[in-house]
């Protein structure tokens, strides 16, 4: 592996960590209805756990209600069971044709609890980024021995690895602050 390949690989992994963080943030509940919260909900469909959003159309109504319209009306009970089992903190209302999830306004305590979850996701992402930095540094040490890199070159590359790490840590902090602001906005 060359130094450039090491950078490309490390940067790609850090980018994936940030993308994973964004996915997790999308499924964290805020005061508004967001269809992404249903991404982790699996419905038993002919004996196979299937993502809810593949079995139905999900739309937002008046900013606080999700309307779930199943493509196959016979599975409405299964969808209802899956929503209850997913423990979203919201009980579905069914009229036999569509399901409605009404998002109640979040209490201050619940908002603070959600912010703790946001911080945990951010911290987990930072740990992943630091682990990638460690792997890159280890790879650099191997390259130093195999390609006889000079001390100055190794030092420059270590600084470059740290700059990349700092960049992705800042991105994760910024995303976390943005999500906390969104959660705390009433």
Domain boundaries, the chain: 3-27+107-184, 35-102
**CB–CB of 73/99 below 8 Å?**
no
Angle, helices 151-184/3-26, rounded to nearest 10 degrees: 10
What's 35-102's CATH class? alpha beta
- pTM for the predicted model, two decimal places: 0.74
Please name the residues in contact with 158: beta carbons below 8 A apart, sequence gap of 6 or more.
Answer: 137, 140
pLDDT at 137: 93
Of the candidates 122, 97, 135, the one whose C-alpha atom is nearest the C-alpha of residue 173 is: 122
- CATH number of this structure's domain 3-27+107-184, picked from the four choices 3.40.1350.10, 1.10.1060.10, 3.40.50.720, 1.10.132.20: 1.10.132.20
**Sign of the alpha-carbon dihedral angle for 80, 86, 90, 91:** positive
Could you give the CA distance from residue 175 to residue 124 in angstroms, rounded to a whole number? 13
Q: pLDDT digit of tens for each residue in the chain (186 aa)? A: 788 888 899 999 999 999 999 988 887 777 677 788 888 888 888 888 889 888 899 888 887 888 999 998 888 888 888 888 887 778 888 888 888 988 888 788 888 888 999 999 999 999 999 999 999 999 988 888 888 878 888 899 999 999 999 999 999 999 999 999 988 876
What is the distance between the terminal CA atoms of the chain, rounded to a whole angstrom?
A: 51
pLDDT at 143: 84
Could you give the CA distance from residue 179 to residue 98 in angstroms, rounded to a whole number? 30
pLDDT at 186: 66
């Amino acid at each position: 592996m060359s130094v450039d390949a090491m950078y490309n690989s490390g940067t790609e992994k850090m980018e994936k960590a940030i993308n994973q963080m964004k996915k997790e943030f999308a499924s964290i509940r805020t005061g508004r209805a967001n269809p992404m919260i249903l991404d982790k909900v699996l419905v038993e469909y002919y004996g196979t756990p299937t993502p809810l959003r593949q079995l139905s159309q999900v739309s937002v109504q008046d900013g606080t209600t999700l309307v779930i319209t199943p493509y196959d009306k016979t599975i409405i009970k299964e969808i209802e069971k899956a929503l209850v089992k997913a423990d979203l903190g919201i009980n579905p209302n069914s009229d036999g044709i569509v399901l409605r999830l009404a998002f109640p306004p979040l209490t201050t305590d619940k908002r603070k609890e959600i912010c703790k979850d946001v911080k945990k996701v951010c911290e987990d992402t930072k740990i992943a980024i630091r682990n990638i930095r460690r792997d890159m540094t280890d790879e650099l040490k191997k390259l130093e021995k195999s390609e006889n890199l000079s001390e100055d070159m190794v030092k420059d590359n270590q600084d470059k690895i740290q700059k990349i790490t700092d960049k992705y840590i800042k991105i994760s902090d910024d995303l976390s602050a943005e999500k906390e602001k969104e959660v705390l906005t009433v």
